[in-house]
Amino acid sequence: MPRPRRPLRLLSPEPRLSLQSTFLPSPAELVALRVSLTVAVRALAFTLPLAVAVAYGLTRRRFPGRLLLDLVSQAPLALPPVVVGFALLLLFGAHGVLGAPLARLGVRLAFTATGASIASGVMAFPAMVRQLRLAFEAVDPRLDEAAASLGARPWDRLVSVTLPLAGPGVIAAALTGFAMAMGEFGAVITFAADIPGETETLPLAIYATLQTPGGEAEALRLSIMSLVVAGTALVAAEAVMRRLRQRIAP
């Protein structure tokens, strides 16, 4: 006698969401949001000054190795994020080129919140440099030359002339870098891992939630939070860049 057939079961059931479970973030989700904001702000704090220095040097200076610096500054844009994270492990891991000496001093970067900020900042760096170069190119170099003729030193000219005039571009670069740091996944999970409450940013929390049966509602809430924060920063950056383009246009 033939055995009755069992109904087919889908391996990946469609998400079942309810309004009540969709828009009420849990304490763990709020922690992931806090971690993301903290990581992004720290990434911006150390990346923006370096991006300003590199962009200014590439725009206003001619020096040996300029092409190499340009290529290195844009490398994270072309490399897969996981490769960048692995390179950071080789440099700053416990047995890395720079990580081993730092470990002897009691400093650990890999698998920490600081490491997550470094990974996010490295991935956001190329886009920030590009926007900053556009901002510096929009500043008339004759103003810098006039300040130099009056005896102003390079640092004084940068602080008192170039940076104020390039202010909108600097703000736009900062907002773009913040948004990119909020959304970075590959480099962060490779270099800093996924540690709840310490390195688990919104993208990592979304990925972990999607691996859990019935986690679609939580993933949606996390995605909405990520979209709101990063989207606001990108819209603000675009508005600032539009004003900068209007300044450049004849």
Domain containing residue 91: CATH number = 1.10.3720.10
- Our count of domains for the chain comes to 1
The reply to whether 119 falls in a domain is yes
CB 176 within 8 A of CB 99: no
CA distance 99 to 94: 5
Who contacts 175 (Cβ-Cβ below 8 Å, separation ≥6)? 233, 234, 236, 237, 240
pTM for the model stands at: 0.82
The reply to whether 186 falls in a domain is yes
CB 198 within 8 A of CB 112: yes
pLDDT score, position 14: 52
Neighbouring C-beta atoms of residue 91, cutoff 10 Å: 15
CB 177 within 8 A of CB 44: yes
* Alpha carbon 10 to chain centroid, angstroms: 37
Closest by alpha carbon to 155, among 56, 231, 81? 56
Helix segments in 93-140, DSSP class H: 99-104, 113-137
- Which DSSP state fits 2? P
The reply to whether 12 falls in a domain is no
Which domain covers residue 145, as residue numbers? 26-248
One pLDDT digit (tens) per residue for the chain, 250 residues: 444 444 444 444 555 544 444 567 788 888 999 999 999 999 999 999 999 999 998 988 888 888 899 999 999 999 999 999 999 999 998 888 999 999 899 899 999 999 999 999 999 999 999 999 988 988 888 887 888 788 778 788 888 888 888 888 898 899 889 989 999 999 999 999 999 999 999 999 999 998 888 888 888 888 888 888 888 888 887 787 777 666 655 5
pLDDT score, position 20: 44
pLDDT score, position 172: 87
**Crossing angle of helices 27-60/216-248, nearest 10°?**
30
pLDDT score, position 8: 42
Closest by alpha carbon to 199, among 49, 85, 47? 85
SS3 at position 196: coil
The reply to whether 4 falls in a domain is no
